[in-house]
Structure 1
Amino acid sequence: MGCCITTTHKSSQLAKLNQSEKDSSEVVVKTSVNTSMPKSQESKDVPSFQSSTNKIKKRELTDVYNIKKCIGQGSFGIVRKGQHKNDPNLIVAIKSIDKFKIKSNLHLLKREVSILQSIDHPNIIKFYETFDDGKYLHIVMEFCSGGELFEKIMEKGKINEKKAACYMEKILLAVNHLHQVGVCHRDLKPENFLFENDSPNAELKIIDFGLSNKFGDKFKHTTKMETFVGTPYYVAPEVIKGEYGPKCDLWSVGVIMYVMLTGHHPFKGETPTQIFQNVVRGELNMESPVWETISEPAKDLLRKLIVTDPNQRLCADDALRHHWFSDAPKAKIELDPNIICALRHYKPKSQMQRAALGIIVKYLSLDQIKDLRQAFYDIDLDQKGELNIDEIEQALNKCGIELPKTQLFEIFKNLDYNGTGSVKYSEFLAATISSRIQLDEHTLWMAFKVFDKDDQGFITPANVYDVLTNMGKNVSRIQVKNIIKEVDLDHTEKITFEDFKKLLSDGKINC
């Protein structure tokens, strides 16, 4: 089942591409949740769905959102459009999974939520929150109105090479970030990429992390996975063989590129078994007339992605440096000195202010963050989806700011909320947004109500703990009490809306 928007007429679209492809797409729906997942390996480090404290009155989904029409349906639940009651302009996608239909694999849902909490990139779907009503787990995410990449291919028959290169760069940026943080998607296909809106230059975003898995030493997992998951036309040969690593995603990316450029799949078959056999052989055919109009650099990248030996296959980092991208002319972009000034002077008054800004950036409109998003891309020279101290220093230098190392380290420490040694996308937005916009009372109220889950009119330590853990922050209750103490001047262990406004009122910086 698609994570965010899966159109209900997809089977008829597939029929237009190839009648045999319709049959294999139905197989995926039946096997999208694998019942043989080894729990010992793949169910660790996941959060509970329930509220972190019994003191907070349980909020229901319908307390916060008006539920609109169904926009997708699968074997285990539905995806519906939702509207936030406190902000009618905030439209979301709500994925509701019937836990009784998947009761033997609830750990997969928990892992999906854990992964959504851990990823933070402009080209990955934004996660808001979850609700658990006993029967259903509701995952609330960003709503993307621009439709699927698959639909764009169907509409045009194929994508011209210049536009395909633009899409491929966005896809690889997102995949590179996933792999940097130890997440393997395992079901990359055109249906799992959405455009944020209908504009010609809309961002492309990865969705549906239902089959994703964590890998690497930081998660106490090996770099090899064994579970047979994915979609027949896009699954890598090593997945079929039963032992694989994150480079399986790069095979899928290569197949997506092939489909964009030609309008058909490289490995076909009348049945899934035939498709799998052709995938394992991996014989890439570039002899048809359509290839006469495709450049040699594009063909070269395809040959280095669609290669059966994963050891010989490019990683996302290397693929982004392929000359197919570097040869394309790009407009020279100057960094906005005001954005760099905001980074330089960002110094949050408290951990509570940091947390509040982290919430606020989730609810800002595209118009409010569009130029900041572009600045993030420009500063992120190694294209890993996070900023390191060298990149921050180079950005400062480009704007004529040269600082002693001690000052540079202090700036970076203020930006790096979690102390991970890198600045996440949302941390970058939080550092720059407060100096660029006037936070109106409505925006502040929306953020306040995210914390005030039990509608008491004030924020308690239990509220803060619940919100921070839902954001993926690893905090203890003692740490939360200390966070509250920083702003709780009257020692009531409560933060009123007036306190909250004051906390965020003086963020504007004159550069």
Structure 2
Amino acid sequence: MGSCCINSEKSHQERSALPHSISMIPVKKIFKFGKTLGGGSFGIVKLAHRITDKDPVAIKIIPKEKVQHKLSVLRREIDILLTVDHPNIIRLLNVYEDDEKIYLIMDYCSGGELFTRITSKGLISEDEAKKIMRKMLMAINHLHCKKIVHRDLKPQHILFDKAGENGEVKIIDFGLSSKLANPLELMHSQVGTIYYTAPEVIIGNYDDKCDMWSAGIILYTMLSGNMPFYGSSIQEVSKAICKGSFSMEGGIWDHVTENAKNLINKLIVKDPATRLSAAEAIQRPWFDLSNEPTSEIDSDIIESLKNYRKTSAFQRETVNILIKHLPESHMVPNVRSSFLALDKTDTGQISKDEFSKIMLDHNLNEEEIDELSSAIDIRKTGNINYSEFIAALFSGKSMDEDMIKRAFECLDIENKGFIVKNDFKIAAIKIGKELTSDEFEKISENFGEINDRITYDQFKMMMGA
């Protein structure tokens, strides 16, 4: 049975433009399409929902004829979206394709763009700007720690998952992003939107500090409702940027604190060597970190983490795959705030040392903590990332029928009605991960003597239902 699955996957890859796509199931059998949310040079974004449960998602629809000579760029964007793992970065939930189109399934952000929020209000209050900026910087720090440079940060690419000041910030659109081979590598392509473009990008020799210039421009715009550099043409704007002179005097700036102005002056700096990094910017006095939440987390979350030790390798890998496809509306309550409270380095990862301190306070001994942290760190990076943290909470609770069905669908990519061992390898590739031989062996142990295939009813029992 396994060899049939492998042959099927080869033929699927031959037909596919993208290695992460699911071609076996027509996308319109899974989702019902609604209104158009926006568009760009490659395609449009539509609101949609799963037919079975009405979960809203945003679907980027890209005609293949428009990207047939730029597939490498699209593959790079997808690879980057599968690499990042942070509460303030948009998630790619799935990729479908048919003969004519590619469909990127993303989290739906109903709160709209930061650009719309600025233009509708005229400007953003300093307290609100502070919350937005800190979340942006944490996401940028996560990107830069992974050697990823966004290269097109602007208010149109900052969304909110819901309306109101409590909406969570989400950085989107990684179409121009790049991943550096090493920290000293420089980029040379003149990309991005001119008003937010750093002077070194215009010159054509730059690194990840270009994102920090853009962050400074965004902050300036939030607090004043204006752009620091402007002109009647792109050439004039470029000259103003390269000159680097801007004003924060008089008018609205009389009501902005000195700490906010100092941060802007440390970000909109011509020399990238003296410009703040994201990690440095987060520590600036303006943010007043003394008011940040402590590392105390909900007792229910602690209990779920403790229970994770009892799960099998089969269950852990299944839930980690499920989490990558699950809309945020289904996440465990308080998971985001608990994760960020434990992320003391603002990198989008929880260090094992920090995790150990918390669990020691909740009556686990060092041996139990080592066992638990190693189990959660399923990708063996030495830290606990956001998806792993969510997966541990899911595995530590009883999964309802809907979640078990979703998990089965994530593995039964060809819609066979059963899963085989090789389906785990294929499903892992779809989320940007290749199982090691050891991981595959541990999963395979759970198949036992059931003819190398697992039906849905058997799967339910194996997931503890």
Question: Is this a same-fold pair by TM over 0.5?
Answer: yes
* C-alpha spacing 1:288/1:367, structure 2 compared with 1 (3 Å): farther
The 5 Å alignment of 1:458-477 reads 458-475=418-435
Runs of 5+ in structure 2 lacking a partner? 1-15
Residue equivalent to 1:59: 25
SS at match of 1:463: helix
Q: Deviations over 1:350-391 (max 9, x none)?
A: 333122212443426537433111110111111110011111
| Equivalent AA in structure 2 for residue 439 of structure 1 | M
1:129 matches 2:101: no
SS at match of 1:423: strand
Q: Is the 8 A contact 1:84 1:91 kept in 2?
A: yes
Q: Is the 8 A contact 1:485 1:491 kept in 2?
A: no
1:184 matches 2:145: no
Residue equivalent to 1:449: 409
Residue equivalent to 2:355: 392
Deviation at 1:317, TM superposition (A): 0.6
Residue equivalent to 2:5: none
Residue equivalent to 2:12: none
1:206 matches 2:171: yes
The 5 Å alignment of 1:38-117 reads 49-50=17-18, 58-88=24-54, 90-117=55-82
1:158 matches 2:123: yes
SS at match of 2:194: coil
The 5 Å alignment of 1:363-402 reads 363=326, 365-366=328-329, 368-397=331-360, 399-401=361-363
Q: Deviations over 1:436-472 (max 9, x none)?
A: 4x32112211221121122211112342222101111
The 5 Å alignment of 1:407-422 reads 407-422=368-383
1:495 matches 2:433: no
Deviation at 1:86, TM superposition (A): 2.7
Distance 2:146 2:34 in 1: 34
**TM score, norm. by length of structure 2:** 0.91
SS at match of 2:103: strand
SS at match of 2:382: coil
The 5 Å alignment of 1:191-270 reads 191-217=156-182, 223-270=185-232
Runs of 5+ in structure 1 lacking a partner? 1-47, 507-511
Distance 2:414 2:446 in 1: 20
SS at match of 1:258: helix
Distance 1:86 1:78 in 2: 24
Percent identity over the alignment is 36
Q: Is the 8 A contact 1:304 1:314 kept in 2?
A: yes
SS at match of 2:384: coil
| Equivalent AA in structure 2 for residue 392 of structure 1 | F
Distance 1:233 1:51 in 2: 35
Question: Greater shift after overlay, 367-376 or 302-311?
Answer: 367-376
Q: Is the 8 A contact 2:97 2:103 kept in 1?
A: yes
Distance 1:332 1:246 in 2: 30
Q: Is the 8 A contact 1:49 1:131 kept in 2?
A: no
Aligned match of 1:321 in 266, 283, 295?
283
Deviation at 1:400, TM superposition (A): 4.6
| Equivalent AA in structure 1 for residue 146 of structure 2 | V
Q: Deviations over 1:270-313 (max 9, x none)?
A: 11111111111111211132111000110111111110111101
Deviation at 1:502, TM superposition (A): 2.0
Distance 1:175 1:289 in 2: 31
Distance 1:464 1:400 in 2: 34
Q: Is the 8 A contact 1:118 1:472 kept in 2?
A: yes
Residue equivalent to 2:113: 148
| Equivalent AA in structure 1 for residue 52 of structure 2 | N
Residue equivalent to 1:17: none
Deviation at 1:247, TM superposition (A): 1.0
Distance 1:59 1:289 in 2: 58
Distance 1:143 1:348 in 2: 34
* C-alpha spacing 1:474/1:331, structure 2 compared with 1 (3 Å): closer
Deviation at 1:199, TM superposition (A): 4.2
SS at match of 1:347: helix
Distance 1:484 1:415 in 2: 16
* C-alpha spacing 1:57/1:267, structure 2 compared with 1 (3 Å): closer
- Count residues with an aligned counterpart: 449
Question: Greater shift after overlay, 265-274 or 488-497?
Answer: 488-497
Q: Is the 8 A contact 1:484 1:493 kept in 2?
A: no
* C-alpha spacing 1:52/1:140, structure 2 compared with 1 (3 Å): closer
CA RMSD of aligned residues (A): 2.3
SS at match of 1:101: helix
Distance 2:181 2:233 in 1: 34
* C-alpha spacing 1:250/1:92, structure 2 compared with 1 (3 Å): same
SS at match of 2:189: coil
Q: Deviations over 1:234-289 (max 9, x none)?
A: 01111111111111111101100000000011010111111111111111211132
Deviation at 1:162, TM superposition (A): 0.6
Deviation at 1:118, TM superposition (A): 0.6
Residue equivalent to 2:7: none
Distance 1:73 1:347 in 2: 45
Distance 1:80 1:338 in 2: 37
Aligned match of 2:445 in 461, 470, 486?
486
Residue equivalent to 2:8: none
Distance 1:202 1:443 in 2: 25
Distance 2:439 2:293 in 1: 46
Q: Is the 8 A contact 1:393 1:408 kept in 2?
A: yes
Residue equivalent to 1:311: 273
Q: Is the 8 A contact 1:335 1:375 kept in 2?
A: yes
Distance 2:76 2:292 in 1: 39
Q: Is the 8 A contact 1:348 1:414 kept in 2?
A: no
Q: Is the 8 A contact 1:172 1:320 kept in 2?
A: yes
Q: Deviations over 1:181-204 (max 9, x none)?
A: 221111000100111012431101
Deviation at 1:411, TM superposition (A): 2.2
| Equivalent AA in structure 2 for residue 289 of structure 1 | G
